[in-house]
Chain A
Amino acid sequence: MYCIVVGGGNVGYYLTKDLIRAGHEVLLLEKDRGCAARLEEELGETVMQGDGCDVRMMEDAGFARADVVVAVTGEDEDNLVVCQMAKTKFSAPRTIARVNSPANERIFATLGIDGTVSSTRIIFNLIEQEIQTDEVVPIAALSRGNLEIVVVELSRDSRVVGQRISDVHLPAEAHIVSVIREDKGMLPNADMDLRVGDSVLALVSTEQEDDLRRSFSESS
Protein backbone atom coordinates (compact mmCIF):
# COMPACT_ATOMS: atom_id res chain seq x y z
CA MET A 1 0.00 0.00 0.00
CA TYR A 2 1.10 3.57 -0.66
CA CYS A 3 0.59 5.56 2.54
CA ILE A 4 1.07 9.32 2.81
CA VAL A 5 1.64 10.62 6.32
CA VAL A 6 1.21 14.37 6.83
CA GLY A 7 2.91 15.87 9.88
CA GLY A 8 6.39 14.92 11.09
CA GLY A 9 5.95 15.24 14.84
CA ASN A 10 6.32 12.29 17.16
CA VAL A 11 3.16 10.57 15.96
CA GLY A 12 4.06 10.97 12.27
CA TYR A 13 7.65 9.87 12.85
CA TYR A 14 6.87 6.64 14.70
CA LEU A 15 3.93 5.85 12.42
CA THR A 16 6.16 6.24 9.35
CA LYS A 17 8.80 3.92 10.83
CA ASP A 18 6.20 1.28 11.68
CA LEU A 19 4.60 1.45 8.23
CA ILE A 20 8.01 1.05 6.55
CA ARG A 21 8.78 -1.90 8.81
CA ALA A 22 5.44 -3.45 7.82
CA GLY A 23 6.55 -3.28 4.18
CA HIS A 24 4.47 -0.35 2.95
CA GLU A 25 5.59 2.40 0.63
CA VAL A 26 5.47 5.57 2.74
CA LEU A 27 5.87 9.28 2.18
CA LEU A 28 6.16 11.61 5.17
CA LEU A 29 5.25 15.21 4.43
CA GLU A 30 6.48 17.88 6.87
CA LYS A 31 5.98 21.63 6.42
CA ASP A 32 8.79 22.95 8.64
CA ARG A 33 12.13 22.99 6.80
CA GLY A 34 14.31 22.36 9.84
CA CYS A 35 12.14 19.54 11.08
CA ALA A 36 11.96 17.96 7.59
CA ALA A 37 15.76 18.15 7.26
CA ARG A 38 16.24 16.36 10.60
CA LEU A 39 13.77 13.64 9.62
CA GLU A 40 15.43 13.25 6.23
CA GLU A 41 18.79 12.50 7.85
CA GLU A 42 17.31 9.37 9.33
CA LEU A 43 14.53 8.39 6.94
CA GLY A 44 16.07 9.59 3.65
CA GLU A 45 13.85 9.80 0.57
CA THR A 46 10.75 8.92 2.56
CA VAL A 47 10.64 12.51 3.79
CA MET A 48 9.42 15.41 1.68
CA GLN A 49 9.31 19.05 2.78
CA GLY A 50 6.05 20.83 1.99
CA ASP A 51 2.55 21.87 2.97
CA GLY A 52 0.10 18.96 2.84
CA CYS A 53 -2.77 21.33 1.97
CA ASP A 54 -1.01 22.83 -1.05
CA VAL A 55 -2.41 21.15 -4.16
CA ARG A 56 0.78 21.45 -6.24
CA MET A 57 2.73 19.87 -3.40
CA MET A 58 0.08 17.17 -3.12
CA GLU A 59 0.44 16.40 -6.83
CA ASP A 60 4.22 16.06 -6.47
CA ALA A 61 3.77 13.81 -3.47
CA GLY A 62 1.56 11.47 -5.49
CA PHE A 63 -1.70 11.89 -3.61
CA ALA A 64 -3.49 10.67 -6.74
CA ARG A 65 -2.18 7.12 -6.26
CA ALA A 66 -2.24 7.02 -2.45
CA ASP A 67 -4.18 4.14 -0.89
CA VAL A 68 -4.42 5.91 2.41
CA VAL A 69 -3.75 9.45 3.63
CA VAL A 70 -3.08 9.95 7.32
CA ALA A 71 -3.02 13.48 8.77
CA VAL A 72 -1.35 13.62 12.18
CA THR A 73 -0.28 17.22 12.71
CA GLY A 74 -0.96 18.89 16.04
CA GLU A 75 -3.62 21.15 14.50
CA ASP A 76 -7.09 19.70 13.98
CA GLU A 77 -8.01 22.17 11.25
CA ASP A 78 -4.93 21.24 9.22
CA ASN A 79 -5.72 17.54 9.57
CA LEU A 80 -9.29 18.17 8.43
CA VAL A 81 -8.28 20.13 5.34
CA VAL A 82 -5.55 17.63 4.34
CA CYS A 83 -8.12 14.82 4.39
CA GLN A 84 -10.85 16.79 2.61
CA MET A 85 -8.50 18.02 -0.13
CA ALA A 86 -7.15 14.46 -0.55
CA LYS A 87 -10.72 13.24 -1.01
CA THR A 88 -12.12 15.98 -3.24
CA LYS A 89 -9.07 16.74 -5.41
CA PHE A 90 -7.38 13.33 -5.52
CA SER A 91 -10.18 10.86 -4.71
CA ALA A 92 -8.11 9.26 -1.94
CA PRO A 93 -9.89 6.00 -1.07
CA ARG A 94 -9.22 6.27 2.65
CA THR A 95 -8.37 9.22 4.89
CA ILE A 96 -7.54 9.12 8.58
CA ALA A 97 -7.21 12.19 10.80
CA ARG A 98 -5.69 12.61 14.19
CA VAL A 99 -8.08 14.59 16.37
CA ASN A 100 -6.50 16.56 19.20
CA SER A 101 -9.70 17.97 20.69
CA PRO A 102 -12.11 15.08 21.41
CA ALA A 103 -15.07 17.36 20.62
CA ASN A 104 -13.92 17.44 17.01
CA GLU A 105 -14.32 13.68 16.48
CA ARG A 106 -18.01 13.95 15.72
CA ILE A 107 -17.50 17.03 13.53
CA PHE A 108 -14.89 15.21 11.45
CA ALA A 109 -17.22 12.25 10.99
CA THR A 110 -20.02 14.63 9.93
CA LEU A 111 -17.68 16.23 7.40
CA GLY A 112 -16.85 12.91 5.73
CA ILE A 113 -13.47 11.86 7.17
CA ASP A 114 -13.31 8.04 7.11
CA GLY A 115 -11.50 7.53 10.37
CA THR A 116 -10.46 9.63 13.33
CA VAL A 117 -8.09 8.86 16.16
CA SER A 118 -8.08 10.89 19.35
CA SER A 119 -5.30 10.04 21.76
CA THR A 120 -6.88 12.40 24.28
CA ARG A 121 -10.08 10.37 24.14
CA ILE A 122 -8.33 7.00 24.30
CA ILE A 123 -6.33 7.96 27.38
CA PHE A 124 -9.43 9.46 29.01
CA ASN A 125 -11.37 6.27 28.31
CA LEU A 126 -8.61 4.12 29.79
CA ILE A 127 -8.70 6.15 33.00
CA GLU A 128 -12.49 6.05 33.11
CA GLN A 129 -12.47 2.29 32.66
CA GLU A 130 -10.06 1.94 35.53
CA ILE A 131 -12.24 3.78 37.97
CA GLN A 132 -15.78 3.14 36.80
CA THR A 133 -17.79 0.10 35.95
CA ASP A 134 -21.26 -0.04 34.47
CA GLU A 135 -20.36 3.15 32.64
CA VAL A 136 -21.03 3.21 28.90
CA VAL A 137 -17.74 4.33 27.33
CA PRO A 138 -17.73 5.29 23.63
CA ILE A 139 -14.74 3.85 21.78
CA ALA A 140 -15.52 4.68 18.15
CA ALA A 141 -17.94 6.78 16.09
CA LEU A 142 -19.25 5.22 12.91
CA SER A 143 -21.44 6.17 9.96
CA ARG A 144 -20.82 9.90 10.02
CA GLY A 145 -21.34 10.07 13.72
CA ASN A 146 -24.80 8.56 14.00
CA LEU A 147 -23.62 5.23 15.38
CA GLU A 148 -21.19 4.45 18.16
CA ILE A 149 -19.40 1.40 19.41
CA VAL A 150 -19.44 1.47 23.20
CA VAL A 151 -18.11 -0.79 25.92
CA VAL A 152 -19.58 -1.47 29.36
CA GLU A 153 -17.72 -3.31 32.09
CA LEU A 154 -20.19 -5.10 34.34
CA SER A 155 -19.95 -4.68 38.10
CA ARG A 156 -21.64 -6.78 40.77
CA ASP A 157 -24.39 -4.14 40.92
CA SER A 158 -25.28 -4.12 37.24
CA ARG A 159 -28.88 -5.11 36.62
CA VAL A 160 -27.91 -7.42 33.74
CA VAL A 161 -25.50 -9.65 35.69
CA GLY A 162 -26.90 -13.18 35.75
CA GLN A 163 -29.30 -12.47 32.89
CA ARG A 164 -29.25 -14.23 29.55
CA ILE A 165 -28.45 -11.90 26.63
CA SER A 166 -31.90 -12.52 25.17
CA ASP A 167 -33.47 -11.24 28.44
CA VAL A 168 -31.56 -7.93 28.51
CA HIS A 169 -33.88 -5.02 27.75
CA LEU A 170 -31.98 -3.12 25.09
CA PRO A 171 -33.14 0.08 23.34
CA ALA A 172 -34.48 -0.54 19.81
CA GLU A 173 -31.34 0.85 18.14
CA ALA A 174 -28.75 -1.10 20.10
CA HIS A 175 -27.09 -4.46 19.56
CA ILE A 176 -24.60 -6.40 21.64
CA VAL A 177 -21.79 -7.29 19.24
CA SER A 178 -19.31 -9.01 21.53
CA VAL A 179 -18.67 -10.04 25.12
CA ILE A 180 -15.08 -9.99 26.35
CA ARG A 181 -14.52 -12.38 29.24
CA GLU A 182 -11.08 -12.93 30.75
CA ASP A 183 -9.41 -11.26 27.75
CA LYS A 184 -11.23 -13.54 25.32
CA GLY A 185 -13.64 -11.98 22.82
CA MET A 186 -16.79 -13.99 22.19
CA LEU A 187 -19.59 -13.55 19.70
CA PRO A 188 -22.83 -13.28 21.66
CA ASN A 189 -25.68 -15.73 21.46
CA ALA A 190 -29.10 -15.53 23.04
CA ASP A 191 -28.41 -18.10 25.78
CA MET A 192 -25.14 -16.62 27.02
CA ASP A 193 -25.23 -15.49 30.67
CA LEU A 194 -23.66 -12.16 31.55
CA ARG A 195 -21.20 -12.20 34.44
CA VAL A 196 -19.42 -9.75 36.72
CA GLY A 197 -16.26 -8.47 35.01
CA ASP A 198 -17.57 -9.03 31.48
CA SER A 199 -16.91 -6.22 29.02
CA VAL A 200 -19.91 -5.90 26.75
CA LEU A 201 -19.34 -4.28 23.37
CA ALA A 202 -22.44 -2.76 21.82
CA LEU A 203 -23.37 -0.89 18.68
CA VAL A 204 -25.83 1.90 19.45
CA SER A 205 -27.31 4.97 17.76
CA THR A 206 -26.03 8.16 19.36
CA GLU A 207 -29.56 9.19 20.39
CA GLN A 208 -30.11 6.00 22.37
CA GLU A 209 -26.80 5.93 24.23
CA ASP A 210 -28.53 7.19 27.39
CA ASP A 211 -31.20 4.47 27.15
CA LEU A 212 -28.46 1.87 26.80
CA ARG A 213 -26.79 3.31 29.90
CA ARG A 214 -30.02 2.72 31.83
CA SER A 215 -30.23 -0.86 30.53
CA PHE A 216 -26.90 -1.66 32.17
CA SER A 217 -27.06 0.58 35.22
CA GLU A 218 -27.09 -0.52 38.83
CA SER A 219 -30.21 -2.41 39.79
CA SER A 220 -32.46 -0.29 41.96
Chain B
Amino acid sequence: MKIIILGCGRVGSTLARRMATEGHDVTVIDLTSDAFRRLGSKFKGTRLVGGGTDMDVLRRAGIDSADAFVAVTNGDNRNIMAAQIAKEVFSVPKVMTRLYDPIRADAYQDMGIETICTTTIAAGLLHDIALDEPVENLVETLRAYRRESGGV
Protein backbone atom coordinates (compact mmCIF):
# COMPACT_ATOMS: atom_id res chain seq x y z
CA MET B 1 0.00 0.00 0.00
CA LYS B 2 0.99 3.62 -0.42
CA ILE B 3 1.07 5.29 2.99
CA ILE B 4 1.85 8.86 4.03
CA ILE B 5 3.05 9.42 7.59
CA LEU B 6 2.95 12.94 9.00
CA GLY B 7 5.40 13.54 11.84
CA CYS B 8 8.74 11.76 12.16
CA GLY B 9 8.90 11.44 15.93
CA ARG B 10 9.25 8.14 17.78
CA VAL B 11 5.90 6.76 16.67
CA GLY B 12 6.08 8.10 13.11
CA SER B 13 9.61 6.87 12.45
CA THR B 14 8.99 3.44 13.99
CA LEU B 15 5.86 2.96 11.89
CA ALA B 16 7.64 4.25 8.76
CA ARG B 17 10.57 1.86 9.15
CA ARG B 18 8.30 -1.10 9.76
CA MET B 19 6.02 -0.37 6.79
CA ALA B 20 9.03 0.19 4.50
CA THR B 21 10.65 -3.08 5.64
CA GLU B 22 7.39 -4.86 4.83
CA GLY B 23 7.67 -3.53 1.30
CA HIS B 24 5.10 -0.72 1.38
CA ASP B 25 5.50 2.60 -0.42
CA VAL B 26 6.14 5.03 2.47
CA THR B 27 6.44 8.83 2.45
CA VAL B 28 7.29 10.63 5.69
CA ILE B 29 6.62 14.37 6.16
CA ASP B 30 8.16 16.49 8.91
CA LEU B 31 8.78 20.19 9.47
CA THR B 32 12.51 19.67 9.97
CA SER B 33 14.96 17.42 8.12
CA ASP B 34 16.65 16.77 11.48
CA ALA B 35 13.77 14.50 12.44
CA PHE B 36 14.57 12.12 9.57
CA ARG B 37 17.70 10.94 11.42
CA ARG B 38 15.36 8.66 13.36
CA LEU B 39 14.66 6.72 10.12
CA GLY B 40 18.24 5.52 9.81
CA SER B 41 20.31 5.29 6.64
CA LYS B 42 18.70 2.08 5.35
CA PHE B 43 15.19 3.60 5.08
CA LYS B 44 13.90 3.03 1.54
CA GLY B 45 10.94 5.42 1.63
CA THR B 46 10.62 9.11 0.71
CA ARG B 47 11.46 11.94 3.11
CA LEU B 48 9.67 15.28 2.59
CA VAL B 49 10.22 18.50 4.54
CA GLY B 50 7.09 20.62 4.96
CA GLY B 51 3.90 21.30 6.91
CA GLY B 52 1.24 18.63 7.01
CA THR B 53 -1.66 21.05 6.60
CA ASP B 54 -0.15 22.58 3.47
CA MET B 55 -2.04 21.22 0.45
CA ASP B 56 0.96 21.69 -1.87
CA VAL B 57 3.17 19.62 0.42
CA LEU B 58 0.50 16.92 0.66
CA ARG B 59 0.17 16.82 -3.13
CA ARG B 60 3.93 16.49 -3.50
CA ALA B 61 3.76 13.59 -1.06
CA GLY B 62 1.39 11.92 -3.52
CA ILE B 63 -1.75 12.14 -1.39
CA ASP B 64 -3.96 11.88 -4.50
CA SER B 65 -2.98 8.22 -4.88
CA ALA B 66 -2.39 7.32 -1.21
CA ASP B 67 -4.19 4.35 0.34
CA ALA B 68 -3.61 5.51 3.90
CA PHE B 69 -2.67 8.67 5.79
CA VAL B 70 -1.40 8.72 9.37
CA ALA B 71 -1.02 11.95 11.40
CA VAL B 72 1.34 11.50 14.36
CA THR B 73 2.88 14.93 15.05
CA ASN B 74 3.03 15.97 18.70
CA GLY B 75 0.24 18.55 18.23
CA ASP B 76 -3.32 17.19 18.57
CA ASN B 77 -4.85 20.06 16.61
CA ARG B 78 -2.33 19.79 13.79
CA ASN B 79 -3.07 16.05 13.55
CA ILE B 80 -6.80 16.74 13.53
CA MET B 81 -6.58 19.34 10.78
CA ALA B 82 -4.23 17.27 8.60
CA ALA B 83 -6.42 14.17 9.01
CA GLN B 84 -9.52 16.10 8.00
CA ILE B 85 -7.81 17.52 4.92
CA ALA B 86 -6.72 14.00 3.91
CA LYS B 87 -10.23 12.66 4.41
CA GLU B 88 -12.48 15.49 3.20
CA VAL B 89 -10.37 17.17 0.52
CA PHE B 90 -8.32 14.27 -0.88
CA SER B 91 -10.69 11.38 0.00
CA VAL B 92 -7.87 9.12 1.22
CA PRO B 93 -9.55 5.73 1.95
CA LYS B 94 -7.96 5.19 5.37
CA VAL B 95 -7.13 8.13 7.62
CA MET B 96 -5.78 7.67 11.12
CA THR B 97 -4.44 9.95 13.81
CA ARG B 98 -2.89 9.67 17.23
CA LEU B 99 -4.23 12.15 19.82
CA TYR B 100 -3.24 12.74 23.44
CA ASP B 101 -6.52 14.34 24.59
CA PRO B 102 -9.17 11.63 25.18
CA ILE B 103 -12.09 14.06 24.80
CA ARG B 104 -10.88 15.34 21.46
CA ALA B 105 -10.22 11.74 20.40
CA ASP B 106 -13.85 10.85 21.16
CA ALA B 107 -15.20 13.92 19.39
CA TYR B 108 -13.27 13.31 16.18
CA GLN B 109 -13.86 9.56 16.24
CA ASP B 110 -17.57 10.49 16.13
CA MET B 111 -16.83 12.72 13.16
CA GLY B 112 -15.40 9.78 11.22
CA ILE B 113 -11.66 10.10 11.80
CA GLU B 114 -9.99 6.95 13.08
CA THR B 115 -8.39 8.23 16.29
CA ILE B 116 -6.06 6.37 18.60
CA CYS B 117 -5.71 7.97 22.01
CA THR B 118 -2.44 6.76 23.49
CA THR B 119 -3.29 8.35 26.84
CA THR B 120 -6.33 6.12 27.29
CA ILE B 121 -4.53 3.06 25.93
CA ALA B 122 -1.40 3.45 28.09
CA ALA B 123 -3.40 4.22 31.22
CA GLY B 124 -5.65 1.22 30.57
CA LEU B 125 -2.70 -1.12 30.05
CA LEU B 126 -0.89 0.10 33.16
CA HIS B 127 -4.10 -0.28 35.17
CA ASP B 128 -4.63 -3.86 34.01
CA ILE B 129 -1.02 -4.87 34.60
CA ALA B 130 -0.96 -3.27 38.07
CA LEU B 131 -4.09 -5.17 39.09
CA ASP B 132 -3.00 -8.40 37.39
CA GLU B 133 -6.07 -8.24 35.17
CA PRO B 134 -5.81 -9.89 31.74
CA VAL B 135 -4.60 -7.41 29.15
CA GLU B 136 -7.12 -8.87 26.70
CA ASN B 137 -9.82 -6.94 28.55
CA LEU B 138 -8.36 -3.69 27.35
CA VAL B 139 -8.09 -4.93 23.78
CA GLU B 140 -11.75 -5.98 23.88
CA THR B 141 -12.76 -2.60 25.37
CA LEU B 142 -10.94 -0.81 22.55
CA ARG B 143 -12.59 -3.01 19.91
CA ALA B 144 -16.02 -2.28 21.35
CA TYR B 145 -15.25 1.43 21.42
CA ARG B 146 -14.26 1.39 17.75
CA ARG B 147 -17.36 -0.58 16.79
CA GLU B 148 -19.61 1.84 18.68
CA SER B 149 -18.16 4.90 17.03
CA GLY B 150 -18.37 3.37 13.58
CA GLY B 151 -14.65 2.74 13.20
CA VAL B 152 -13.36 -0.07 11.00
**Residues of A that sit less than 8 Å from B by CB:** 53-56, 75-78, 80-81, 84-85, 88-89, 101, 103-104, 107, 110-111
Contact = CB atoms under 8 A, between A and B. Distances in A.
A19 B15 CA distance: 48
Contacts of A54: 101, 103
A95 B16 CA distance: 37
B111 A104 contact: no
A81 B111 CA distance: 12
Given A54-B101, A107-B89, A77 B54 contact: no
A76 B103 contact: no
Contacts of B111: 84, 88
Given A53-B104, A111-B88, A80 B81 contact: yes
A76 B53 CA distance: 9
Contacts of A78: 77
B6 to A, nearest CB: 12
A55 to B, nearest CB: 4
Contacts of A101: 53-54
B85 interface: yes
A103 B88 contact: no
Contacts of A84: 80, 107, 111
Contacts of A89: 107
Interface residues of B, number: 21
Interface in B41-72: 53-56
B77 A53 contact: yes
A104 B75 CA distance: 18
Do most interface residues of chain B lie in helix, strand or loop, or is the interface mixed? helix
B12 to A, nearest CB: 17
Given A77-B77, A85-B107, A88-B111, A111 B53 contact: no
Given A80-B77, A80-B81, A85-B107, 10 more contacts: A53-B101, A55-B107, A56-B103, A77-B53, A77-B77, A81-B77, A81-B81, A84-B111, A103-B54, A103-B56
B80 A81 contact: yes
A22 B78 CA distance: 34
Contacts of A76: 53, 81
Which 10 A-B pairs give the minimum distances between C-beta atoms?
A77-B81, A77-B77, A81-B77, A55-B103, A77-B78, A78-B77, A80-B81, A81-B80, A110-B88, A88-B107
Contacts of A111: 84, 88
Nearest to B108: A84
A78 B107 CA distance: 15
18 contacts: A53-B77, A53-B104, A54-B101, A54-B103, A55-B103, A55-B104, A76-B81, A77-B81, A77-B82, A80-B84, A81-B81, A81-B104, A84-B80, A88-B107, A88-B110, A107-B85, A107-B89, A110-B89
Contacts of A77: 53, 75, 77-78, 80-82
